[in-house]
């Protein structure tokens, strides 16, 4: 137990400092010496978290596969950490797949699982984000179905709203804000910032439509375009 505590502290410190390689080396040194920890998933989770913090999704995948093959049973924390690593690596398809795989492995996903998967659907590139908001909303709605019955958190709503905002789906941003309030989830500064941006963009859109309706082209008789 003492050895495990020492490892966890050293590995966590290494992960927080961005030294994910050291965390993996410490794990390797720990498992190479049988000490009754063969069925404890905690060391793997600590190393996995170090990879996640540094955005090393490929190394996290290798560790997950190796642990699943010859290590202790994967826990909910294991899956959640790996989904977060995939989100940091912009591997949204893999993150959504892992969310499904978690339940298939008889591990019940929690709010953290869904939030991590939804976070993967936020992309800076408009070409990508214009498609991903649908998946982010799907993840949010999936939480509330009767068979799952989870209550979305402020993180859940902000993640979906952010995805919609990046895709210029302003009406959906406002709809999510209303849904949030109806479920008793208090908006935070991020929620309000997204809503303000949505209102501003929506006002601009209305102004453009009004300008178009009052333009000389629209007012001309006989359908002739006059500029």
Tokens of 37: 């920890």
Whether residue 150 is contained in a domain is answered as yes
- List pLDDT tens digits, range 17-33: 999 999 999 998 887 77
Whether residue 85 is contained in a domain is answered as no
| Other CB atoms within 10 A of residue 10 CB | 15
- List pLDDT tens digits, range 54-68: 999 999 999 999 999
What residues make up the domain containing 193?
121-227
Whether residue 189 is contained in a domain is answered as yes
pLDDT (0 to 100) of residue 221: 42
Whether residue 130 is contained in a domain is answered as yes
Whether residue 141 is contained in a domain is answered as yes
d(CA 37, CA 17): 26
Instruction: Tally the C-alpha atoms within 13 A of residue 64's C-alpha that lie toward its C-beta.
Output: 27
Whether residue 57 is contained in a domain is answered as no
Residue 8 reports pLDDT greater than 60 = yes
**This prediction's pTM:** 0.83
pLDDT (0 to 100) of residue 195: 84
Q: How many domains does the chain have?
A: 1
Whether residue 110 is contained in a domain is answered as no
Burial 169-200 (b: 16+ CB within 10 A, else e): bbebbbebbebbeeeebebeeebeebbeebee
- List pLDDT tens digits, range 93-104: 999 999 999 989
Whether residue 224 is contained in a domain is answered as yes
């Amino acid at each position: 137990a003492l050895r495990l505590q020492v490892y966890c502290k050293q590995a966590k410190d290494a992960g927080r400092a961005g030294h994910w390689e050291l965390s993996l080396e410490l794990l390797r040194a720990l498992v190479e010496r049988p000490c009754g920890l063969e069925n404890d998933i905690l060391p793997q989770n600590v190393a996995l978290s170090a990879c996640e913090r540094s955005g090393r999704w490929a190394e996290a995948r290798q560790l997950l596969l190796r642990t699943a093959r010859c290590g202790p049973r994967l826990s909910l924390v294991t899956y959640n950490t790996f989904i977060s690593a995939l989100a940091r690596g912009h591997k949204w398809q893999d993150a959504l797949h892992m969310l499904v795989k978690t339940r298939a492995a008889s591990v019940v996903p929690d709010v953290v699982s869904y939030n991590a998967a939804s976070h993967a659907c936020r992309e800076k590139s408009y070409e990508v984000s214009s498609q991903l908001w649908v998946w982010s909303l799907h993840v949010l709605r999936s939480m509330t179905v009767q068979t799952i019955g989870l209550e979305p958190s402020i993180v859940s709503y902000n993640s979906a709203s952010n995805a919609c905002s990046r895709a210029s789906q302003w009406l959906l941003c406002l709809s999510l804000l209303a849904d949030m309030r109806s479920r008793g989830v208090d908006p935070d500064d991020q929620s309000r910032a997204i809503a303000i941006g949505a209102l501003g963009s929506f006002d601009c859109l209305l102004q453009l439509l009004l300008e178009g309706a009052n333009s000389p082209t629209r007012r001309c008789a006989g359908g002739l375009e006059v500029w």
